[in-house]
Amino acid sequence: MTITALTRPDTTAEPAPGDSPARTHRARRQPSRMRVERRRSLTGWAFLAPAALLIAWLNFWPMIQAFVLSLKTGKGARLNFAEPLWSNYARLLKDDLFRTTLGNTAIYLVIQVPIMLIMALILATILNSKHLRWKSLWRTAIFLPCAVSLVSYSLVFRTLFATDGFVNDVLMGMHLTDHAINWLGQPGTARFVIILGLLWRWTGYNMVFYLAALQNLDYSTFEAARIDGAGPVKTFFYVTVPQLKPMIVLTAIMSTNGTLQLFDESYNLTGGGPANASMSMSHYLYRIAFQNNPNVGYASALSYAILIMVAILALLQMKVGDKRD
């Protein structure tokens, strides 16, 4: 009787006759190299995980909580789920004051954003000229309003456009009007003052984005346009603007987002008056959430309505601006 011994495979076997020593060496080193790369990848994720979890906790968890609150009704801490759950959203459609604030915000968006972006683009093109003197001074002067506090500049504009303010003194001194205009006491002029304040503060901010993009463009394209006989206007529309399209889309999205969330000017400059004629949606949200009889459930529904508007407009702007071949 013979006993067959079970032996382990011989791992020290000689390489196949056709294999070169270098190929055999690479084959043996490949698993160890993959282990090192996997270890490095896991190490990187280990460093990123705490920050990622912190961002998710501080940003997305409040959003989830706000959505849950938007499904509840009640006052203070006594909140219960509404019946039906979407009653706060249905209330928005019947809220006359919400429609008023939505119309006011739409006016600011439609008038102020295009004017601001066009002015910022023109100023950036002028300040990018190689022949302009004291460019740093002009750039600083135009950007400086952006560094002013939102509350401070709102109070300055409120003082300028007061009934006995500087603007009325100048207009009457130039005999353009024979009486003081109540700028902040009339719906049309109150909105005009807010739009003017937004233009004054944010035009220089957007100009910096365009200026940075212009300085990264190939100057040979402008030289080619000049050699072909294109004037400044044609060069601007057919050379400058097409190359700045990604930056224009970016600034349009940021400006739209900021305008839909407009609060400081409405709250500090006009107080939402007269008779809520200049109140923005975010100002109305603040009033519902923190003033009079706070209703956090309805305020959360309003915040999600603003979020949906921002997302839809940003998506539309990206679709319009993305003209890839």
Query: 310 is written with which tokens?
Result: 């921002």
* Phi–psi pair at 139, nearest 5 degrees: -65, -45
Please give the mean pLDDT across all residues of the chain: 84
Q: What is the pLDDT of residue 97?
A: 93
pLDDT at 36 over 80: no
Asked if the model's pLDDT at residue 300 lies above 50, the reply is yes
Percent of the chain's residues with pLDDT above 90: 35
Indicate if the pLDDT at residue 310 is higher than 80: yes
Position 22 scores a pLDDT of 52
State pLDDT tens for residues 95-111: 999 999 999 999 999 99
Give pLDDT tens digits for 227-241: 888 888 888 888 888
Q: What is the pLDDT of residues 188-232, one digit of tens each?
A: 999 999 999 999 999 999 999 999 998 888 778 888 888 888 888
Distance CA 312, CA 67 (A): 18
3: pLDDT strictly greater than 60: no
Q: How does residue 11 score in pLDDT terms, banded at 50, 70 and 90?
A: very low
Query: What is the pLDDT confidence band of residue 12, given thresholds at 50, 70 and 90?
Result: very low
pTM of the model: 0.79
| CA pair distance 39, 51, nearest whole angstrom | 20
- Superfamily of domain covering 95-321: MetI-like (1.10.3720.10)
How far apart, in Å, are the Cα atoms of 321 and each of 70, 127, 195, 316, 318?
33, 25, 25, 8, 5
Residues of the chain above pLDDT 70, percent: 87
Q: Whose structure tokens read 């049309």?
A: 188
- Predicted local distance difference test score (pLDDT) of residue 135: 84
Where in the chain are all domains bearing CATH 1.10.3720.10? 95-321
Residue 264 tokens read as 């400081």
Residue with tokens 């207009």: 171
pLDDT band at 20 (very low <50, low <70, confident <90, very high): low
Q: What pLDDT sits at residue 6?
A: 43
Rg (CA), the chain: 31
pLDDT at 26: 56
Average pLDDT score over residue span 64-73: 88
